[in-house]
Amino acid sequence: MTKLTAIIPTGNEIHNIEAVVASVSFADEILIVDSFSTDGTYEKALELDVKVIRRDYEYSASQKNWAIPQAKHEWVLLVDADERVTPELKNEILDTLKNPKDHIVAYWIGRLNHFMGEPVHYSGWRNDSVIRLFKRDFCKYEDKHVHAEIIAQGHIGKLKNKLYHNTYITFDKYIEKMNRYATWQAKDYDTKTGRLTPYHFVVKPFWGFFKHYIVQSGFRDGVVGLTIGYIQGYVIFMRYVKVWLLRKNRQ
């Protein structure tokens, strides 16, 4: 059996740490990468049967690219604290690692997304997939502040089973998270956005809402879908407001 390291980045995840560690307990090594949590996450992690390291947080891709080379084993399963490996996915991962295919260096894994306590079937989240099972020495994240994905030096497969994903704690906490994302995105978009116009502040936010709620059938998710559509438009608007502030050194 090919051995596996599970990497879990954490930052104030006391409400998630025990459950996410339990969901990857089949891994040969569990590596917690904590960004100096202040809510007891670090202390709780030290009580578990895991390896714990710490690093100041810059942004997600930077944190993960620093952690990946520190995995003891060739194959890595990277799981965010708000995700869970289901029993079905666990079995598929173990079966995959029994006879790994030489030409495949990474695997896409779908996610079963939940928001405000409800499963999200549409709203642009239906086909959500991420590369989370990969060879340590052949993969790294692209250098983006938000929504970075793995760049793989080789072929990428896809697993059938999915991660359980629940990014929601409370509505206020989620809005705080989206504001952080808008701040980070502003740094990425500043270099590739020309002069800011009403197109950025009006058209693009409206299209973000319309795409998620109408084109991607968010209306079929009820209040949850309406909320997701609204937040998507809000984040796009705030992204360009923060680009404007960044350019005026008012961040």
> Do 72 and 50 form a contact (C-beta atoms < 8 A)?
no
pLDDT of the residue at 161:
98
pLDDT of the residue at 250:
84
- Same domain for 181 and 127? no
pLDDT of the residue at 75:
98
Q: Which residue has the tokens 């090594």?
A: 29
Q: pTM of the full predicted structure?
A: 0.91
- Same domain for 128 and 102? yes
CATH of the domain at 25: 3.90.550.10
pLDDT of the residue at 102:
86
Residue 118 phi, psi (nearest 5): -125, 145
- Same domain for 146 and 178? no
pLDDT of the residue at 103:
92
pLDDT of the residue at 1:
74
pLDDT of the residue at 13:
96
- Same domain for 35 and 85? yes
- Same domain for 39 and 148? yes
- Same domain for 185 and 150? no
- Same domain for 79 and 201? no
pLDDT of the residue at 249:
87
Closest CA to 43 of 13, 79, 83: 13
pLDDT of the residue at 152:
97
Closest CA to 41 of 54, 58, 28: 54
Residue ranges of the chain with per-residue pLDDT less than 50: none
> Do 148 and 125 form a contact (C-beta atoms < 8 A)?
no
For residue 181, the enclosing domain spans: 171-249
- Same domain for 19 and 123? yes
Q: How many domains does the chain divide into?
A: 2
- Same domain for 65 and 103? yes
